[in-house]
Amino acid sequence: MTARTDLETLMARLVLKDREAFRALFSATSAKLFGVCLRVLKDRGEAEDALQEVYVKIWNRADRYSSTGHSPMTWLITVARNHAIDRLRARRADSDIGDPDLVLSDPAPGPEARAIAAAEARRISECFGELEQARADAVRGAYFEGASYAALAERFDVPLNTMKTWLRRSLMTLKDCLSR
Amino acid sequence: MSDRPDIPPDDSARAAEYVLGLLPVQEAREMRAELGQNAALRAEVLAWERRFADIAENEVEPVTPPAGVEAQIMAHLFREERRPWWQRFGLGQVVGVAGLAAIVALGVLFYSNLTQPLLVPEYTAQIVGEGDSLILSAALDADTGELLITRDIGTVTTGRAQELWLIAGEAAPVSLGLLAEDTETVLNVPQDLAARFEGGVLAVSDEPPGGSPTGAPTGAVLAVGEVNTI
């Protein structure tokens, strides 16, 4: 994987509609993003379609990247995951969440955001390991499968409100661990 | 990290739920409106995006996509240089027509038995969905009744079909056929329908597999475009 600074240079060039930079970004990042699409959609053909759409979005919306304060990989993964989830929910008529309501937020960047991001990235696996297996799986289910609270409650065979409490607690444990 | 202002746990959880897509539609909408006003909440949403993306970065194995995917993306985005002739109209019609005439003349000279004569399409349309989620280009050659639809952006939802309609004047929409999932669809338009393209509107609707069971659009209108006359 290309070093982060290289990806940052490519992202900056992308905003200027530099096609060579786009090609370079594709070869450096497409395997990871294809992995994300596959993980969410679990269907090769659909993941290929999603990947195409993801890179069209990346090309068209590169100007939004810098305002998030994200690292390039964080932004790219977020675009890919959200798009794949959109597709998954469009496919799934039984969703009780209704229309996907996931758009990239583009607020002003926090100045210390990047430093924090780098520090947290190193710890995320460790902190995830601190959660009980089932609870970590519930968080994964929500992130990678777009599972609703109702779907998660059914899967883990707990009442809906218990599921909500569980997941919220797990998220707070994760956050606390990351900020230790 | 201690320099980051603390956010109430409830707000942090709500931000996480927003990023995960766990909030009910109405709450998510309210949340989005709130993000415009509340900088701390906005920062927390972004922080959750980072935390979750880190999980993906750590846990998802890279898988090299097939080579064709890159080619298709590049063709999608950078097709201007090799755009088919029917899409170049409007940019330089005079040059286009002159060039086309030359090509036809050459074609006639060198290939006296052309199987597919180069004919100028009389009608074109860009059919565009909300938020540019679906963009199609259509070109009708009224002489042959051949309607070529190129899928520029967007796909067909699995288990659903996309049906193309002509809306001419006040008349009810008339089905022109189903769109293929491929980049290009060719539909044959009967002469009487082709004659009604001028000033009409093309629309794509979401339908069950096999198309509308009623003969009229039954699902959501996914994209619309006015017919232009060349």
Report pLDDT digits (tens) over A154-171.
999 999 999 999 999 999
All domains of chain A, ordered by start, with CATH? Answer: 1-109 (1.10.1740.10), 110-180 (1.10.10.10)
* A149 contact residues in B (CB cutoff 8 A): 22
pLDDT at residue A42, as a whole number: 94
| pLDDT level of residue B111 (50, 70, 90 thresholds) | very low
- Mean pLDDT for B200-211 is 88
Give the class (CATH, top level) of B120-230. mainly beta
Of B12, B45, B74, which is closest to A105 when you measure between CB atoms? B45
CB atoms under 10 Å from CB of B180, counted, come to: 14
Instruction: Decide which of B61 and B188 is more confident.
Output: B61
Q: Which residues pair with B147 in a beta bridge?
A: B140, B187
In chain A, what residues touch B16 (CB-CB under 8 Å)? 168, 171, 175
Task: Answer whether B72 touches A (CB < 8 Å).
Answer: yes
pTM: 0.60
A50-59, A77-86, A147-156, B201-210: range with lowest mean pLDDT: B201-210
8 Å CB contact between B227 and B123? yes
Averaged pLDDT for residues A89-111: 48
Give CA–CA dist B197/A47, Å, rounded: 37
Determine, for residues A99 and B25 on separate chains, whether the beta-carbon distance falls below 8 Å.
Answer: yes
Asked if B57's CB is within 8 angstroms of A121's CB, the reply is yes
Residue, of A21 and B229, whose pLDDT is higher:
A21
pLDDT for B50 beyond 70: yes
Is A137 part of the contact surface with chain B (CB cutoff 8 Å)? no
Q: Find out whether A59 and A14 touch, Cβ atoms under 8 Å.
A: yes
Over residues B114-159, the pLDDT tens digits come to: 333 334 567 778 888 887 788 888 888 777 788 888 888 888 888 8
pLDDT score recorded for residue B124: 79
Domain boundaries, chain B: 9-59, 64-118, 120-230
Q: What is the mean pLDDT of residues B60-67?
A: 94
DSSP labels, A85-131: HHHHHHH-TT-SS-S--------PPPTTHHHHHHHHHHHHHHHHHHS
The residue of chain B with its CA nearest to that of A49 is B155
**B6 and A CB contact within 8 Å:** no
